[in-house]
Structure 1
Amino acid sequence: MERPDWAPPGIDISVPSVSRIYDYYLGGSHNFEVDRQAARRAMQFVPGLPKIMQANRAFMRRAVRYAVAEGVTQFLDIGSGIPTFGNVHEVARAAAPEARVVYVDHDPVAVAHSRAVLDGDERAAITAADLRKPAEILDGPEVTALLDLDRPVALLLVAVLHFLEDADRPREAVAALRDALAPGSLIVLTHASYQGIPLEPEVAGGAVQVYRDIRNPLVMRTREEISRFFDGFETVEPGIVPMPLWRPEEPPAGAGEAAVEPAEDPYAFAGFGGVGRKA
């Protein structure tokens, strides 16, 4: 297998990576053949996976703009993945040039590429850390240097919590992060779910099994289970909803006021997103 020039030293390019698979779904170029093979296997069961990822990114950008409009200009993006166009710092600074961003990921490729993208940027940084160890994130030099935790911070957990099994204690990790944040801080969260996928769970489960096969279990949770991650936050309108329905910049195509099911790609409505504010 030929090693791309951009692959950081020490990376095993024979093992698929969640962040590189995500990059492939979004049309990126920083993925290996082993990642593309895993993505294509998953898409045999859920062909709309790229649309789901695009809906995730669009939700994230709207939520970042909402945060800035609410006066929050500090961002902690955990599970940030490989940098693509329209990243958090780009979206935030379009509205607030002073915005500061710390990205967090445990994938060495995502970290290496983020460092390259952010080289020379004094108001953005990447740290190699794991959501399962929130204290290491909060005490890391990047967070302590760039973020003032005595002021509101937007905590982004976009498409990451579904890679933590209950045994990883994800609710406790989110609670630890929440408790470190100042009042007025926001949580921005999306999560995969069988609810909303236009397939029988048994069929969609084939894609879930692909992730298990590459040792990255994908945990599908119900809306009620996802809502528990918002404990200690007050959800902002319209609540925890399918991602295209969270403060859309314009109504989804064909959705009149009385429409119940917007006439957009149905896969975009798989899973849930929401924003909460710490009192």
Structure 2
Amino acid sequence: MTTDPQPSVRIDTGKAHPARVYDWLLGGKDNYPVDEAVGALLPPEARDAARQNRQFMHRAAAWLAAQGVDQFLDIGTGIPTEPNLHQIVQGIVPTAKVVYADNDPIVLRHAEALLVSSPEGVTDYIEADVRRPDGIVEHARHVLDFERPIALSLIALMHFITDEQGAGDIVRDLVATLPPGSYLVLSHAASDLYPELAEQVTEQYAKGGIRLAFRTRPEVERFFDSLELVPPGLVTATEWTTPDLPADPEGSGIYAGVARIG
């Protein structure tokens, strides 16, 4: 089943939005000229990073579902691009429940048509900002059972939240709501792997009015404080893999990790 989405009409086409720029980088069509203007200024490696990030999400979601996790809270969903998270996990656990959240109204508009659950499972969507996590959790409680393990997915999201905006506190607060046996799935753009490239990307996003907060490996690792990183630990997006899959030798400027809570 799919629960009724929240109506939304406030789409600002005059300002670039991270979800729509990401859609453009992935070759999608659900973006506006202002988003394309940002994406077109980025180096070619930005497209590679978007693809690598997406592939990490697929591998991590499949691994979690194979471990028996059947509840997912995906914040910073982005424009739906198949296969979506629920398609990955419901292909393994048909009864899985997935709550999507994003602060771009266009994401929710497309969610109505594209984020359709398997008959046995549930998908749900909320227009919300990660900087107000309490509202997301409150909504998610109507769909997910917070007495059982939940996978919290923060894919390529936290580098849009600065330390001044409380990035670390946001992740800690979200993790604190989850029961033991839950997981945090997080990917994050690196400032220290390809410094010149990171600076270039940051500058071009800023021209579109989007502030970035790329971080070093130790800074990204802090999001996993007190959590148990599962193998292979905090690595690049192409290096994060499961024992049955070989690591991709392609370089990546994205850090990625999955950690168990409690």
TM-score scaled by length of structure 2:
0.91
Distance 1:151 1:120 in 2: 20
Gaps of 5+ in 1: 1-7, 254-261
Q: Which residue of 2 aligns with 1:137?
A: 136
Match of 1:79 among 76, 79, 82: 76
Q: Greater shift after overlay, 119-128 or 101-110?
A: 119-128
Q: Name the larger-Rg structure.
A: 1
Q: Which residue of 2 aligns with 1:38?
A: 38
**Letter matched to residue 257 of structure 2:** G
Q: Which residue of 1 aligns with 2:27?
A: 27
Residues 240 and 119 (structure 1 numbering): CA distance in 2 closer, same or farther, change over 3 Å? closer
Q: Which residue of 1 aligns with 2:113?
A: 116
The superposition leaves residues 101-148 of structure 1 with CA deviations (integer Å, 9 ceiling, x where unpaired) of 0001001111211122236876001101111111111112xx122100
The superposition leaves residues 180-207 of structure 1 with CA deviations (integer Å, 9 ceiling, x where unpaired) of 101000000000012333xxx3454122
Distance 1:94 1:66 in 2: 12
Q: Greater shift after overlay, 87-96 or 215-224?
A: 215-224
Q: Which residue of 2 aligns with 1:53?
A: 50
Distance 1:276 1:9 in 2: 36
Match of 1:65 among 51, 55, 62: 62
**Letter matched to residue 224 of structure 1:** P
Regions of 4+ moved over 3 Å? 118-122
SS in 2 for 1:16: coil
Gaps of 5+ in 2: 1-7
Q: Greater shift after overlay, 118-127 or 223-232?
A: 118-127
Distance 1:195 1:130 in 2: 27
Q: Which residue of 1 aligns with 2:93?
A: 96
CA drift of 1:250 comes to 3.6
Distance 1:22 1:186 in 2: 25
Distance 2:89 2:117 in 1: 18
**Letter matched to residue 27 of structure 1:** G
1:208 corresponds to 2:202: yes
Match of 2:173 among 150, 159, 176: 176
Tell me if structure 2 keeps the 8 A contact 1:79–1:160: yes
Distance 2:20 2:254 in 1: 21
Q: Greater shift after overlay, 175-184 or 113-122?
A: 113-122
Distance 1:136 1:48 in 2: 35
- Aligned sequence identity (%): 38
The superposition leaves residues 10-60 of structure 1 with CA deviations (integer Å, 9 ceiling, x where unpaired) of 4232211110110011111101121111101122xxx21111111101100
1:270 corresponds to 2:259: no
SS in 2 for 1:12: coil
Tell me if structure 2 keeps the 8 A contact 1:42–1:208: no
**Letter matched to residue 239 of structure 2:** L
Residues 148 and 10 (structure 1 numbering): CA distance in 2 closer, same or farther, change over 3 Å? closer
Q: CA RMSD in A?
A: 1.7
TM-score scaled by length of structure 1:
0.86
